[in-house]
Every structure is written in C-alpha cells, then in structure tokens.
Structure 1
Amino acid sequence: MTLYTPLGGLPYPQPTDTANLPLHLQSLAEGIDGRTVLRYATAAERDATITTPATGMVAWLTSPGTLSYYTGSAWVAMGAWNTYTPVWTAETTNPAIGNGSLTGRYAIVGKTCHFTLLAQFGSTTTYGSGAYYFAYPVKAGAMGGYPQHRGVATSATGRGLITCQPTATSNATIYSLWGPGSTSSSALSQLGSGGLFGTAWANGNIVRIDGTYEVA
C-alpha cells in the first residue's frame, strides 16, 4: 500500500507493493511537479497549462520576469506592481465613474499589500448618495487596530487631506473615506456624495489614496 511523506504528502511504495518502478517513479514525479517553481514564458502559457491550479502554486514567468503564486482564486505577481480596477460604492445609492477614470495598482510582498488608487471625476460621473467606500485589491487579513490609509481629494473649495479606514478588524474587503466636511470645522466627517468641505464633487475633482495592510 502506497504511503505518503508527512510534510509534503509525496507518495512512496512499500515492500509489499507490486514491483513497477516506472509507475512508482511517475507517481513521485507527479507529486513533486506541482510543488516546484514552475517555469513558463508568459502568463497565457501558464494558464493554458495549469487549468486547475492549487492554492500555493508558484510559477516563474520569463515575460515580464516575475514570480507568481496562486491565492486560491487568482494568480498574483509577487513583489511586482499589478493593475486593478477599484470598485466604488456608496451607503445608499452607488455612484458611477462615467467618462472619468478609476485606476489602481498594488503589490504583494509576503503577507503585506501596498496599494494606490486614483479617481478622476468626469462630466458624466454620477455621485450616488451616502458615505463612500472603495474596494481593496485583495481581501485583508487581521487589521488589528484599524490601520489608516492616507490620501488627498479636491473640490471647488480646495484641496484637503483625507484618511481611510477599513470596515472590519479582519477580512475587510472595503474601506471608507473620512475628511473635512466643512470649511468651518477641523473635525473629520465620513465623506460621500456630499463632497469635500461641504462642496459637492464636480468634473475635474480627484481622490487619491495609498496604503499598506496585511492580506488574508
């Protein structure tokens, strides 16, 4: 009866097994295959070859020259900056970017995610209603004391520093925006469709955010 190594789960035959060296070597090779650093020319070749990737698989891509690993739902380039499209929602009615732009980039190193986001509002952007939320590029892990992400936003009244807070102490997928809600108070308010400094958002305004957090 075939047994398996305690750490890697690799198969090895027993004296009572049928003497079939090619079969036993094939079983061992197949067991090792998915645990090594796989090598492919491009992400397309990797995806065409590994149709059912396992969580934790690691692959080297000659172009663009990065290691990638499978999170269980997607391949992520380790240490390299990846693009993502942030999801923008609101408490009551969701906004829509229209002919504006909403872009983001992120890099994962170990269990740490660094991200940056830029929202540029256009003439057909609609602003929904209620407090605003943006999605993280990947799910957060333990957030401890709710780390703060920093940013800047503009309105017709001027430019203001803002801060962002994850919505949960663990497994957060979104974060909320806080900043100056009026020109007469230094208190931070939860920002949303009401705009910055009490002035509604408009064409040409921006929201720029960056931060770091622990991934799940």
Structure 2
Amino acid sequence: MTIHQSLADELARQVAAVGASTPEIRGGDWRLATVATVGAGGTVTTTDGVVARRLESYLNPTVGDLVRIDASSSGDWTTPGRTAAAATRSWTPYTPTWTAATTNPTIGNAVRTGRYQRFDATCHVAIRLVPGGTTSFGSGAYLFGLPFPSADDVVEYVGTARLTAGSTYIGQCIAGANATEMNVTFPASGGLTAANMSQVAPATFASGHILRLSLTYQIA
C-alpha cells in the first residue's frame, strides 16, 4: 500500500467518524441510552451526557431507564420513553404502614399486602390486611400508609373499604391534602353516620379477618 493510499484511507475514516457524530451531516438519527439523571423541566440526561426532552408519552422517568433518544439534524434530542423490560410489572408492590391514633398495633404475623400503579401524578393503590394470632391491635383510629404523599391541594380523595369480620362491612378510605396516610370509616350504629375504624369499630378486629382498601389520588 502506498503512502497516498494510506492517507486516503485515514482521511475517509476520519470523515466517516465526523459524519457519524455530527447531526448536521448525518441527519436525523436515534439510538438507545441509559438515564443518569432526571431534570425538573421535563428532561433526562443520559450516562453519556445527552440532555433529551421527554415526550408526553414518557411518564415517571427513573434513573437507570433504558430509553430511545432521537436526534434532529439540528442536534436537538428528544425521548419518547423507556424500552420494555423482559418482564414488565404494571403494579408495584409495597408494604403499607399500619398505625393508630392512641397505641400503634404490633404487626406480629399479620399479612400486609400493598400494590400501587402510578401514571404521572395519579396513583392507584390497593391494600389487603389479614391480622394473625400474634398481632396486637393497638387502640384509637387506624391509619394506613400511602406509597407517595398526596398533593398539597384543597381536595380530599375518597376510596372504598371492605372489612370481612364474620359479617361484611362496606366503608370508605380517605386521604386529605398533603397526607402520607389514609384513614378508614365505616357506618356507625344505625347506619346514618360514619366512624373511624379501630379495633372495636365497626366490629372487633381479630385474627383471620380481612380488610381491603382501594384509593386513587394525586401525588404531591
């Protein structure tokens, strides 16, 4: 190979490299990247330093997401969202807290199951609580932890409650503004008013009973 051929080959390699890394030359393009940080202004920054604006389709960005990023010929970057995982979970498990106004319960061998699904600022949460033989029930009105604090707004959020305790009792769960927990109410004696759930209301809460809660609310 002559020196002229070597120079020509090197020049061609450099031109190709510049074209591959310069949007103005190569035109629009896309590739995969990993999210390093999430910006407050609707952007994400990838591990290799690209700042891409999220499209409306990309909700709940998280560090570590594998995303598609698209480049325009002018060098602007956008991302439509994360790629699908091998096994996608549409609901996320969590363990809800269980407290009381006067004396907190002791969980013992109770089974607490929580699941939530989040879409941007909207959260759907479901809780199932089954006390066990070593559970201590505390005293005072019960409270159950939310997966995220509620929005600091003027509205409250009302969901459904179902207690199976010999008989079946239908009530409501309520989360106020800027709340980290929700309380539960069931119809009091006579059924015209509601009272907070406790160990003795609406029935004596005992081992093997089942409490189910479901709520949709706005996240802070």
Match of 2:207 among 200, 203, 209: 203
Structure 2 stretches of 5 or more lacking a match?
Answer: 1-17, 23-45, 56-63, 66-80
2:148 pairs with 1:144: no
Distance 1:185 1:36 in 2: 50
Aligned to 2:98: 88
Select the structure that is richer in strand.
2
**Contact 1:136 / 1:173 at 8 angstroms: preserved in 2?**
yes
- 2:72 aligns with none
**Superposed, which structure 2 residues align to 1:47-86 within 5 Å?**
60=83, 62-65=85-88, 80-86=90-96
Alpha-carbon distance change, 118 to 29 in structure 1, aligned in 2, over 3 angstroms: closer
* Greater radius of gyration (CA): 2
Whether the aligned pair in 2 keeps the contact of 1:134 and 1:175 (CA below 8 Å) is yes
Deviations 1:37-80 (Å, cap 9, x if unpaired)?
Answer: 9xxxxxxxx49xxxxxxxxxx754633247xxxxxxxxxxxxx2
Superposed displacement of residue 147, structure 1: 1.8
Aligned equivalents of 2:97 and 2:207: distance in 1? 19
Between the aligned partners of 1:178 and 1:89, the Cα distance in structure 2 is 15
**Aligned pair 1:194/2:203, yes or no?**
no
Partner residue of 2:179 out of 168, 172, 190: 172
Q: Provide the residue aligned with 1:40 in structure 2.
A: none
Aligned amino acid, residue 32 of structure 1: V
Question: Match of 2:78?
Answer: none
Compared CA separation, residues 36 and 63, structure 1 to 2 (3 A): farther
Task: Give 1:92 shift.
Answer: 1.2
User: 2:30 aligns to what?
Assistant: none
Once residues 29 and 112 of structure 1 are traced to their aligned partners in structure 2, the CA distance between those partners, rounded to angstroms, is 28
Pair 118,143 (structure 1): closer, same or farther in 2 beyond 3 Å: farther
What displacement does 1:143 show?
4.6
- 1:214 aligns with 218
Q: CA deviation at 1:29?
A: 8.4
The structure-2 alpha-carbon separation of the partners of 1:123 and 1:144, relative to structure 1 and needing over 3 Å to count, comes to same
On the 8 A contact 2:143/2:184 being kept in 1, the answer is yes
Deviation at residue 173 of structure 1 after TM alignment: 0.6
After superposition, what is the alpha-carbon deviation per residue over 1:106-130, rounded to whole angstroms, capped at 9, x for unaligned? 1001211011100011111110011
TM-score, normalised to structure 1, is 0.62
Q: How does 1:12-23 map to 2 (within 5 A)?
A: none
Q: 1:63 to 1:201 in 2, by over 3 A?
A: same
Structure 2 Cα separation of the partners of residues 188 and 65 of structure 1:
40
CA RMSD, 1 decimal: 2.9
Q: Contact 1:143–1:213 (CA<8 Å) still a contact in 2?
A: no
% identity of equivalent residues? 31
Cα distance in 1 for partners of 2:215, 2:153 equals 13
Following superposition, the deviation at residue 155 of structure 1 comes to: 2.4
